[in-house]
Amino acid sequence: AMTVFRSPALSLLGRYAFRTRLPQAASILTLVGGLAGAMGPLANSLILSLGPWLAFAIGSGVLLLATLALRWVGPNYGVDLPDRSSHAPQPLSWLGLTLVFGAGVGVTLGFRLISVTFPEVLKQQVPGAPVAPILGLMFITLALTAIPAGAIATRLGNHRVMVLGLALMALLAAGMTTLHSLILGVMLATLMGAAFSLVANGTIPFALAQVPPEKAGLGTGLYFSGGALALSLWGTLSGGRSLPPGLSAGLAVLAFGVAGLCVWRAGRVPP
- b/e per residue 228-244 (b: at least 16 CB within 10 A): ebbeebbeeeeeeeebe
Decide if 226 is inside a domain.
yes
Q: How many domains does the chain have?
A: 1
Closest CA to 40 of 59, 63, 60: 59
Decide if 80 is inside a domain.
no
Decide if 179 is inside a domain.
yes
Measure the CA–CA gap between 158 and 98, rounded to whole angstroms: 18
Q: Domain residues for 149?
A: 2-43+92-266
Decide if 255 is inside a domain.
yes
Which amino acid is present at 235? G
In the prediction, which pLDDT does 189 show?
93
Q: 254 to each of 6, 209, 251, 261, how far by Cα in Å?
A: 27, 25, 5, 11
Decide if 119 is inside a domain.
yes
Q: Give me the CATH number covering residue 35.
A: 1.20.1250.20
The sign of the CA dihedral 47, 50, 52, 53 is negative
The sign of the CA dihedral 138, 200, 110, 41 is positive
In the prediction, which pLDDT does 236 show?
79
Give the single-character DSSP code of 20: G
DSSP 205-260: HHHHHTS-GGGHHHHHHHHHHHHHHHHHHHHHHHTTSPPPHHHHHHHHHHHHHHHH
Which amino acid is present at 67? T
Measure the CA–CA gap between 188 and 236, rounded to whole angstroms: 28
In the prediction, which pLDDT does 169 show?
96
Decide if 252 is inside a domain.
yes
Q: Is the Cβ–Cβ distance between 271 and 140 less than 8 Å?
A: no
Measure the CA–CA gap between 163 and 174, rounded to whole angstroms: 17
Per-residue pLDDT for the chain (271 aa), expressed as one digit of tens each? 555 555 565 556 555 555 556 666 666 666 666 666 656 666 666 777 777 788 788 778 877 887 777 677 665 555 455 555 555 556 778 888 999 999 999 999 999 999 889 999 999 898 888 888 898 889 889 888 888 888 888 888 889 999 999 999 999 999 998 888 999 999 999 999 999 999 988 888 888 888 887 787 788 888 888 888 888 877 877 776 778 888 999 999 999 999 999 999 987 765 5
Predicted TM-score of the model (pTM): 0.78
Which amino acid is present at 181? S
Decide if 105 is inside a domain.
yes
Decide if 60 is inside a domain.
no
